Each structure stands twice: as structure tokens, then as C-alpha cells.
């Protein structure tokens, strides 16, 4: 029997999060780009690159925990990725089960809580079951929140949020006088979470690729030419250090 978990909303209060005291970003988002190119350069299948990228995820999660980052959001599978070859898509969507089987005990030991953003309803049952199991097992953890963006697309998210908000307006659960940016944000998949402070993109590309378009309005960007499987803890820490040197003005002076 298929589970029905089409959308995940995060409503926990931001005040509960521990704020790093040394300028470390509270919320880091990463576009993990370059798995396929990494494999092709080595004469391997693109699927092999995605599998290799799993070990990089674990290394970066460890570094985030040690750096006291509160939230780490990883762009895992986009709504546009369905256009890729069927075999590659299937490989990517089977990775959560492999990942959790191998690394979930370590994540639990490190007090990591796993969440998902995106439209889960269209994903295969084996992907949803693996993710739901991980969320259930880590529900009570209060350390790093690890968000996997699965079948996620920001335009889709914003459109869905607008439809839900308009429904609440029509049903008089919400008035126009109540509506502001913060209220609208609560309808997004990331509702209740702080917007990312830092976005990292690997693989040499310099675009957002339909990722967290609303949430990244004032986020600091850090781009790396390194392909994701080769991205190291040291480079992650370098991105954090550079973030600490920047002055965020939010439109001021």
C-alpha cells in the first residue's frame, strides 16, 4: 500500500535552533553538481558517479555537525531531473535506500534529524519508504537538521504555495490584511525554517537551477569548480570561512 506524503512542511519554531556564535552560517544549502561528469571522465557510468557522491554527502554532513551548522539542505533530485535517461533516474531514486542502510546509524549517533522538501507523491514507493523510515528514526534528534530536496522545484513549490494560500483566503482562514512575506513563507516546503545563509554549488556551474528561489533572496553564494564526488571537508570549511568574512547588508549600507 503506497504511502501518501506528498509534501513536507517544517513548522518548528526557529527560536529552538542554536545560533552559532562565531559567524558560522546557521543554514547552508548545497547544489551537489558534477556526479555524472566525474564518472564520465573516468570511463565509468553516470550511475557510478551518483553512488560515489553518497560518500561526499556523509563527509560534508560530518563537517557540518562539527562546525555547528544548524540546517543543511541538499539538492538531491529536481523536478527537471525526470528528463534524464530512465536508468539514471532509477539509480538516483534508489540511492536514498542505500544511503540510509549504510549511514543511518552514524547519523543517529551524531544526533542528526532527517527531513525532506519537495513533492514526494510522484516518487517510487521504495524511495518514499526509505525516507519515511529515516525521518521516523531521527524524529526526536535535535542536532543538525539534514534536508533532502527530492523531486523539488522552486517554481512548483511557489505555485503550490500560492494555490494553498488562495484556498485559505477563499475559506476565510486567512485575510489579505494578514498576508506578508513571512506568512507566505509558511506555505513553502521550508515553512518554519530560517532561509539559507550560504549557498554552495559545486561542478563549475553558476546558476540556481530552480532551487529555493524565494528563500535565496539574500543568501551569500559560493561556487566551486570541483565536481561533487571530489568536494572535500576542507573546501566546505573554506566556504564557511569565506562566509564569515562577508558583511551582509540586506539592502542597507
Q: Answer whether 90's CB lies under 8 Å from 46's CB.
A: no
Does residue 5 have a pLDDT over 60?
A: no
| 55-59, 160-164, 178-182, 186-190: least confidently modelled range | 178-182
| Residue numbers belonging to the annotated binding site for substrate | 34-38, 46, 50, 78-80, 82, 84, 201, 207-209
Confidence of residue 1 (pLDDT cuts 50, 70, 90): very low
- Which residues have a Cβ under 8 Å from the Cβ of 151 and sit 6 or more positions away? 77, 78, 79, 118, 119, 120, 122, 123
151 contacts 182 by C-beta, under 8 angstroms: no
* pLDDT tens digits for range 12-53: 433 334 445 579 999 999 999 999 999 999 999 999 999 999
End-to-end CA distance of the chain: 56
**38: how many CB neighbours lie within 10 A of its CB?**
25
Q: Structural domains in the chain?
A: 23-153+196-245 (3.40.1180.10)
- Residues in the annotated binding site for Mg(2+): 33, 220
Write out pLDDT tens, residues 106-116. 999 999 999 99
120-152 pLDDT, tens digit per residue, is: 999 999 999 999 999 999 999 999 999 999 999
- 26-30, 159-163, 246-250: least confidently modelled range: 246-250
Residue 28: CB partners within 8 Å, gap ≥ 6?
64, 69, 71, 72, 73, 196, 197, 198, 199, 200, 240
Quick one: angle between helices 86-109 and 125-138, nearest 10?
Answer: 10
Question: What is the DSSP secondary-structure string of 155-208?
Answer: HHHHHHHHHHHHHHHHTTSS-GGG--HHHHHTTSTTTTSPPPSEEEE-TT--S-
Q: Which of 77, 89, 82 is nearest to 46 (CA)?
A: 89
**Do the beta carbons of residue 113 and residue 146 sit within 8 Å?**
yes
Half-sphere exposure for 226 (CA within 13 Å, toward CB): 15
Distance CA 80, CA 31 (A): 14
The residue among 131, 95, 165 whose CA lies nearest residue 6 is 131
DSSP string, 46-98: HHHHHHHHHHHHHHHHHHHHHTT-SEEEEEEEETTGGGS-HHHHHHHHHHHHH
pLDDT at 115: 97
Active site residues: 33, 81
Chain segment 169-186, per-residue pLDDT in tens = 999 898 888 889 999 999
Give the pLDDT confidence score for residue 7 in this predicted structure.
41
- Residue 209: the pLDDT is 98
Rounded to whole angstroms, the Cα distance separating 230 from 244 reads: 24
Query: Please, are residues 229 and 50 in contact by the beta-carbon 8 Å criterion?
Result: no
Residue carrying C-alpha cell 545563509: 197
Residue-wise pLDDT for 194-220, tens only, equals 999 999 999 999 999 999 999 999 999
Amino acid at each position: 500500500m503506497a504511502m501518501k506524503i506528498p509534501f513536507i512542511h517544517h513548522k518548528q519554531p526557529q527560536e529552538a535552533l542554536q545560533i552559532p556564535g562565531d559567524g558560522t552560517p546557521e543554514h547552508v544549502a548545497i547544489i551537489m553538481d558534477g556526479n555524472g561528469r566525474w564518472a564520465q571522465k573516468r570511463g565509468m557510468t553516470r550511475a557510478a558517479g551518483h553512488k560515489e557522491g553518497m560518500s561526499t554527502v556523509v563527509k560534508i554532513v560530518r563537517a557540518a555537525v562539527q562546525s555547528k551548522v544548524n540546517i543543511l539542505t541538499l539538492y538531491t533530485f529536481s523536478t527537471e531531473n525526470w528528463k534524464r535517461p530512465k536508468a539514471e533516474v532509477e539509480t538516483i531514486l534508489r540511492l536514498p535506500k542505500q544511503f540510509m542502510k549504510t549511514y543511518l546509524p552514524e547519523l543517529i549517533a551524531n544526533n542528526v534529524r532527517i527531513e525532506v522538501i519537495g513533492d514526494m507523491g510522484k516518487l517510487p514507493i521504495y524511495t518514499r519508504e526509505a525516507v519515511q523510515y529515516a525521518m521516523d528514526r531521527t524524529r526526536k534528534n535535535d542536532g543538525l537538521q539534514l534536508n533532502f530536496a527530492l523531486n523539488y522545484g522552486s517554481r512548483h513549490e511557489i505555485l503550490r504555495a500560492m494555490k494553498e494560500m488562495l484556498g485559505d483566503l477563499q475559506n476565510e482562514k486567512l485575510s489579505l490584511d494578514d498576508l506578508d512575506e513571512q506568512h507566505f513563507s509558511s506555505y513553502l516546503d521550508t515553512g518554519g525554517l530560517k532561509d539559507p545563509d550560504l549557498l554552495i554549488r559545486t561542478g563549475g556551474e553558476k546558476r540556481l537551477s530552480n532551487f529555493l528561489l524565494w528563500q535565496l533572496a539574500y543568501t551569500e553564494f559560493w561556487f566551486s569548480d570541483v565536481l561533487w564526488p571530489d568536494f572535500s571537508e576542507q573546501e566546505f570549511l573554506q566556504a564557511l570561512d569565506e562566509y564569515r568574512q562577508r558583511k551582509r547588508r540586506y539592502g542597507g549600507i
